[in-house]
Structure 1
Amino acid sequence: MSESKDRPEGRLEGRIAVITGASRGIGAAVAERFAAEGAQLILIARTVGALEELDDAIRAQGGRQPVLVPHDLRDFDGLDRLGASLHERYGKLDILIGNAGILGPLTPVGHIAPDIWQEVMDVNVTANYRLIRSLDPLLRLSDAGRAVFVTSGASSGLKAYWGPYAVSKAALEALVRTYAAEITKTNVKANLLSPGPIRTMMRAAAFPGEDPKTLRSPGEIAELFVALAEPACARNGEVVEAR
């Protein structure tokens, strides 16, 4: 379906947004909400089929046709090329949503294989550093660049057996807060969002005995992402908790 000409202007009208981990869960819900608010989306995920399904859903609801980028975030050179491609096509970036993440094994720290540890760090931390490195110049070209990264209460490191995930989220928070301190005199704002217990595949893997019906759906927290991504947002360097 083509974009509706009489669709009311949304809070993200015409703003260009990159969303990682966009094919399912929180990423897909945020993508649909951003599209409903008028954003032009660049959706990144590994699963081509799921991206195509999301594309169909967005266009069926009258949203702008998104740009689909099937990509493994561990291909760091590809993230560098992403920045160059976006600059050539749009000349700027308004919104970056760093949502992609993996859980890793829930096991004693001493039992974690080095390659598994590295994979969690690569996806949850290093990929976001590479995204900032690649896309910060484009965010600075926006009149109101906004970056939001998904963290977790596990970052406190108080849960046994959550080593790789907890350490990666603690590192992500330090990374984003450092970045936020560096951009205080620019038009860019960077924050973290901690969703809490949400009905996702990752949550089900971490808590297999939990009844998913007792949890909020990803769509129920999408408004928080809009609030942190819109030009009116004045927050910077904060960890925002979904309540």
Structure 2
Amino acid sequence: MLCQFDYQSPAQLLKNRIILVTGAGAGIGRVAAKTFAAQGATVILLGRTISKLEAVYDEILAQGSPEPAIYPLNLEGASWPDYQAMADRLYEEFGRLDGVLHNAGILGRISPVQSYNPELWQQVMQVNFNGPVMMQQAITALLAESEDASVIFTSSSVGRKGKAFWGAYAASKFAVEGFSQVLAQELENTTSIRVNTLNPGATRTQMRCDAYPAENPSTVRAPEEIMGTYLYLMGADSKGITGQMFNAQPDL
């Protein structure tokens, strides 16, 4: 696995770049959006809770970064026409995308497969895999308008080596890994789009707390501490690197 945990980005690494971040209202998505904006990007904040997106919007303005945009969308209920409409709106507003961080996701439950609720299984797969796939289908043409576009799919340790009781979450992340490899090969010789996966590792988020309720949060890194690899993959220094699996922390 590859890692750029200690990557030191040049100032304004992402200046004039237009970057879509899903799940931008909290956790890693919120911090990534603020980090990209601090490096000069115009960030499109996508998520299901408008109040959270508005809070991130205000935080980005307060740090003196370019004004972001907000696009509310719930991946659980979204269908193909919703993603088409999103792509059309982004084309009208921006004309292109230079990057996307597919970060939105849900945990489901920690449970034996035998007793896993089938409806919850479908919900996890819809948010973690089907939604990002349809979104990517809709926005690939926008990314192709960029001279240097980066697609980052959020993976997980349990999406690279299966672990008991992780059920739909692990299955969805294995699916993401496979899809990203297919997409990387399809786009490699015909566009300037690179596609990679990134495993954030143990990070201080609500999802981590839900999965490990007895864990002391101070024993894992905060999202702000793992942004090195995110910046590396979104910036020009990773140009030409595609179809690879990255870790955001060196000890994975």
Distance in 2 (CA, whole Å) between partners of 1:16 and 1:158 is: 35
Q: How does 1:180-219 map to 2 (within 5 A)?
A: 180-185=184-189, 186-219=191-224
Give the Å deviation of 1:48: 1.3
Q: Measure the CA separation in 2 of the matches of 1:225 and 1:42.
A: 16
Alignment partner of 1:53 is 2:50? no
Task: Indicate which of 18, 21, 24 corresponds to 1:19.
Answer: 21
Q: Does 1:171 align with 2:175?
A: yes
Q: Is the 8 A contact 1:73 1:79 kept in 2?
A: no
Give the whole-Å Cα distance in 1 for the aligned partners of 2:12 and 2:82.
Answer: 31
CA distance in structure 2 between the aligned counterparts of 1:56 and 1:96, rounded to whole angstroms: 21
Structure 1: distance between partners of 2:162 and 2:91: 42
- The aligned length equals 236
Aligned to 1:228: 233
Which structure ranks higher in relative contact order (CA pairs < 8 Å, sequence separation ≥ 6)? 2
Kindly state the Cα deviation for residue 156 of structure 1 after the two structures are TM-superposed: 3.5
Q: 1:149 aligns with which of 146, 153, 159?
A: 153
Indicate the residue corresponding to 1:32 in structure 2. 34
CA drift at 1:232? 2.9
Letter in structure 1 aligned against 2:114: G
Per the TM alignment, residue 157 of structure 1 is displaced from its structure 2 partner at its CA by 4.8
Q: Provide the aligned C-alpha RMSD in A.
A: 1.3
The CA distance in 1 between the partners of 2:91 and 2:131, in whole Å, is 19
Fraction of identical pairs, as percent: 37
Separation (CA, whole Å) in 1 of partners of 2:161 and 2:12: 39
| Alpha-carbon distance in 2 for matches of 1:221, 1:85 | 32
Match for residue 107 of structure 2 among 79, 89, 103: 103
State TM-score, norm by structure 2: 0.91
What is the rounded CA distance, in whole Å, between the counterparts of 2:165 and 2:125 in structure 1?
16
Stretch moving more, 117-126 or 69-78: 69-78
Residue 112 of structure 1 is matched in structure 2 by 116
SS of the residue corresponding to residue 183 of structure 1 reads helix
Distance 2:151 2:226 in 1: 16
Distance 2:67 2:143 in 1: 22
Decide whether the 8 Å contact of 2:229 with 2:247 is kept in 1. Answer: no
- Greater shift after overlay, 105-114 or 186-195? 105-114
TM-superposed CA distance for 1:86, in Å, is: 1.1
Question: For 2:23 and 2:162, how far apart are their aligned partners in 1?
Answer: 26
The residue identity in structure 1 corresponding to 2:71 is V
Equivalent position of 1:66 in the other structure: 68
Structure 1 portions without partners, runs of 5+? 1-7
Q: Distance in 2 between matches of 1:61 and 1:156?
A: 36
5 Å-filtered alignment, 1:1-20, equals 10-20=12-22
Shift of 1:69: 1.3
Aligned to 1:5: none
- The TM-score with structure 1 as length reference comes to 0.94
Which sits farther off after the overlay, 65-74 or 155-164?
A: 155-164
- The CA distance in 1 between the partners of 2:128 and 2:229, in whole Å, is 21
- Runs of 4+, deviation exceeding 3 Å: none
Answer whether contact 1:105 1:162 (CA < 8 A) is retained.
Answer: yes
Partner of 1:239: 245
